[in-house]
Structures are given as C-alpha cells and as structure tokens.
Structure 1
Amino acid sequence: MKKIIVLLCFFIGVSSFAQQKEYETKSNIQYYNTTINKSDNYINERCVLDIYYPKNTKNFATIVWFHGGGLTGGNKEIPEALKNKGFAIIGVNYRLSPKVKAAKAIEDAAAAVAWAFNNIANYGGDTSQIFVSGHSAGGYLGLMIGLDKKWLQKEGIDANKIAGLIPFSGQCITHFEIRKENGIPETQPTIDTFAPLYYVRADAPPLLLITGDRELEMLGRYEENAYMARMMKLTGHKQTKIFELDGYGHNMTEPAFPLLLNEVNRIIKEKQNK
C-alpha cells in the first residue's frame, strides 16, 4: 500500500507540475516556404498548422497530430486531452481530395513534420522527441511518412529520427480514397506503394497501433493493424505494439489519448536512461 501511495503522489506531482506551466498557441503558420506558397493558392490557404507549447520551457517533447476525415474533409485541431501535459502539440491542415490527388496529403504531412524538426527548437522543444500521431486518415498519413522514408527524405529529414509513431485507427492497406481514385472497390484489399504495410521494416521508429473494437470498427480496420503489427515483428522490429479498445468503434480517440501519452512518456524515459 505504501508503494502505491508513493507512486500516486509522484504522478500527481508530475501532473501538477505540467499543469502549472504557461502555454501559448500560435495559429495558421505556413509550413511550406514562401516560394511554394506563392506558386499555389490552395497550398497557401490550406497548408498551415497550429502549435500549442509550454512557454519558458526547454527540451519539451512534441506531438504532431493529423486530423481524420478520409483525406476528403476535416480540419486541424489541438486535442483537449493532450493539453497541459508538458508537451507541444502541433495540429496540421493538409490538402484534401478531390481538389487534389490524395497523395498530395502525404506530401503535406511530410512537409509539416519537417517543419517541426526545423523549427521546434526555436520554441524550446527537443528535436529528438518529436512524435507523430493522428486519427483515421491522420493515422494513415503518419504511418506513410514514418515507414516510407522517401516522403521525409524529400524534405531533408530522416524518418528514423521520429521518436515514435502512434496512429489511431489508421489504414494500413492502401487508403480507400486512393483506391477510389483508381477504381478499386472498398472491399478489395490492396497493398501497393500507397499502403503502409508495403514498407514494414526492422529499423522504423517505435510503433504503437491503436484501434477500436474489431466488431465495431470500419471495414477490417483492426485486422489491417493486426497484420501490420505481425509483419513488423516478423521483419525484426522490436518495438511494435497493438491495442484494441473493446466496446469502442472507429471514433475511439478519447480512450486512446491516455495510451498515446503513456507511450510518449515511456519512450522519453527510455531515451533518458540510455
């Protein structure tokens, strides 16, 4: 009992310390350079991010958060459940189909993560502690840029520098909007160059996959993630985990946020102990 009380006091103290920090939000920061923004009105309008960060703090971790919406809708957000935890949160807008091909959203996701690597130190953040997360289409985008290294290489960033990938109910086979563009039915499983599963590799960043209940999720979403977890492990990846949230459907973000925070803290502690 004494140990439990000590641990509770510790966690309450950590939580109180994080909440005592003062936070600031800067909105609608363009993550492409001026030349690119001037060349494309849609990029200039859509490719912006918000950053919420602890002021007067050094070496904090950052979570880049991609919204869901099937690559056809949605807007950037700073999830309330991630606020006041001692981290910076970056909420990202990206271009949407059908105004552009869905693959443009992957380009944008890479550019936004590159912005974090190139700029977070200016706010006090630690570039070795940048995590990538998001829900549904946002989870898919994080997986694509974290596993297929060419997207971030184009931005001059090594994808392996990402501290952790933590997608919520992300699509692991080829995204349904990209399949729609190519006339492939929703019920036809496809694993091509637009599928995170195509890029399983042993040297990827730590990976935590979180989905809703397999019986309540979207078309085979749990099974896609389970296959991803299995293949990552078989290819030799040592830090792959999967959580299935029983009783929750596709909109399972609220119970998943504490798991995201636990994983971020676990990886930070692991890095500090090395």
Structure 2
Amino acid sequence: MKKLLSLLAFILISFSAFAQKPEYETKSNIQYYNAATNKADSYINERCVLDIYYPKNTKGFATIVWFHGGGLTGGNKEIPEALKNKGFAIIGVNYRLSPKVKAEKAIEDLHVAIAWTFNNIASYGGDVSQIFVSGHSAGGYLALMTGLDKKWLQKEGIDANKIAGLIPFSGQCITHFEIRRQNGIPEKQPTIDAFAPLYHVRADAPPLLLITGDRELEMLGRYEENAYMARMMKLVGHTQTKLYELDGYGHGMTEPGFPLLVNEVNRILKEKQTKK
C-alpha cells in the first residue's frame, strides 16, 4: 500500500510540474513606430517590425530584446532557439539598413523598439523592470549605443538606466565601421566619436556583460575594443562590468555565448529579488 501511495504521489508531482510549464506564443511583424510615421515612410513601414515570443498566461516575466547582426547592412530579426523555453520573453527586432539609409538610422530605430518594449510588455504579462538588451555584432554595437548614450531613449521619455542589463555579443565599441565607411574613413582606422559606445562610458549605466570570441580569432580588434571598454567603465566607477573571452571561438560565437546571457539575466533577477 505504501508503495502504491508513493507511486501515486510521484505521478501527481510529475503531472503538476509538467502542467506548470508555461506555454509560449509568438506574435510576428508588430510595427514599433506609430501609425503616422509608418504612413509617412514606406521603408520604416516595411522594415521596422519586431517579433515577440513570450510565456502565455504568465505574469512578471523578464524580457530580452535581441538585435541581429549583419554589419548594419544586412540581417533579419530572429528569436534565438537557445533562448526559448527559459521563462523569458524574447523580442527580435528588424531595423533599417545601410546603404538605403544612413547607418546611424539603425540606432534611431532600436531606441524606438526598446521604448515600445517598455510601453507594451506589461500588456503581455512582462515586468517592465526586467528588460534586458542584447545582440550580436552590429546588434551588440546597437545594444551598447542605445543603453549607454542616454539621449536616444530620452527622446521617448525613458531613462536608459531602467534597462535591467546590457549584454552585447562581440559588439563594436569604437565607431562602427559602416558609419566610418560612409564618412570615408578606412575600416582599419579606429575612430571614437559620438557614434562610439566608448564615448559614452559612465558610472551609472546598467549592469554590463561584454562577451567576445577568442582575441586571435575575432574580427579585427573586437576583443581588444571590448577589453578597453571594460577597463574604462571600471575606471569611471561602474561596478558591474564583466568581460568574457570565449577561447577557441571566432566572431560567430553566439551558441557558447547564450548560456552566459541566460546566467547573467538570472543573476540580475536574483539580485533584484534579494533587494526587495
């Protein structure tokens, strides 16, 4: 009899655990500019859309806004498979591309996409205090720019410091090479101006986790840029900057990077919970 009761208890617990797993839903091609802007600009209307993957019938979940790479000239929005079924919402964002528009227009687009997230995620069940911004390569650069240069989100009435964490993958920390190219500056001539994340180092920025591939395998000086960014953030007094170099991986280092992203999100969420 005891064995039977134990078996029934095990079945009930297993069924309960299975039943509590959230079901996820994806909504695609949501326009994140307002209707008037979409009507006035056909390229914005076509390109500036996002997908949201989120746990249904769940409240208080965290959100990761993910920006695709492609050198600011290519690429498309994505919901990375490695981030699915982790209890988070994932938002994949498209943005305008060079040379159809000036490369810096991508920064304009992505601050609007982040603002859309702040203004809308609660209606899906998300917690507005748990919005993280990440991306790979050009997407990592854009994550850094929109999170460190506060003027972009200020245009939408949002304090960039409300972002829960910035987690760029192999992001450019000097002025992006496509912005330099359109201004006649060679790819291998480093430039730090207002379009460089390094220009905007500050002590009060959100927690920052910089992830790159192996310094000997990465694109150009990508590891060294991130190492300098980490050093300068610490020197200005930022206490939550970390740098990971993924030995043996080149620029396409997203797969080994995703677990680090998930761990960092969970670390920050746990820290927030402890402070409550």
Structure 1 residues 25-104: aligned runs within 5 Å: 25-104=26-105
Once the two structures are superposed, the pairs formed by residues 75-224 of structure 1 within 5 Å of their partners are 75-224=76-225
**More displaced stretch, 19-28 vs 248-257:** 19-28
**Compared CA separation, residues 18 and 220, structure 1 to 2 (3 A):** farther
**Deviations, residues 181-232 of structure 1 (Å, cap 9, x unaligned):** 1111111110000000000000000000000000000010000000000000
Letter in 2 for 1:105: A
Query: How far apart are 1:61 and its partner, in Å?
Result: 0.0
Tell whether the 8 Å contact from 1:67 to 1:74 is kept in structure 2 after alignment: yes
SS at match of 2:263: helix
Runs of 5+ consecutive residues of structure 1 not aligned to the other structure: 1-12
**Could you say which structure has the larger radius of gyration?**
2
| Contact residue 82 and residue 89 of structure 1 kept, 8 A | yes
Pair 95,179 (structure 1): closer, same or farther in 2 beyond 3 Å = same
Whether 2:255 is the aligned partner of 1:254: answer yes
Matched residues, percent identical? 87
Shift of 1:20: 1.9
Aligned with 1:20: secondary structure?
coil
TM-score (ref. length: structure 2) = 0.93
How far, CA to CA, are the matches of 2:120 and 2:233 in structure 1? 31
**What residue identity is the alignment partner of 2:121?**
I
Q: 1:109–1:141: 8 Å Cα contact kept in structure 2?
A: yes
- Give the deviation of 1:19 after TM superposition: 8.6
In 2, Cα distance between equivalents of 1:167 and 1:27? 24
Structure 1 residue identity aligned to 2:109: D
Give the structure-1-normalised TM-score.
Answer: 0.93
Q: Distance in 2 between matches of 1:112 and 1:210?
A: 23
Q: Does 1:273 align with 2:274?
A: yes
Shift of 1:155: 1.3
State the alpha-carbon separation in 1 of the partners of residues 208 and 254 from structure 2.
17
Letter in 1 for 2:159: D
- Measure how far apart 1:101 and its partner are: 0.2
Q: Distance in 1 between matches of 2:238 and 2:19?
A: 32
Calculate the aligned-residue CA RMSD, in Å. 1.3
Structure 2: how far apart are the matches of 1:135 and 1:17?
33
Residues 19 and 84, structure 1, Cα contact 8 Å, conserved in 2: no
Please report how far the alpha carbon of residue 156 of structure 1 lies from its aligned counterpart in structure 2 after TM superposition: 1.3
In structure 2, the CA distance between the partners of 1:19 and 1:41, relative to structure 1 (3 Å rule), is farther
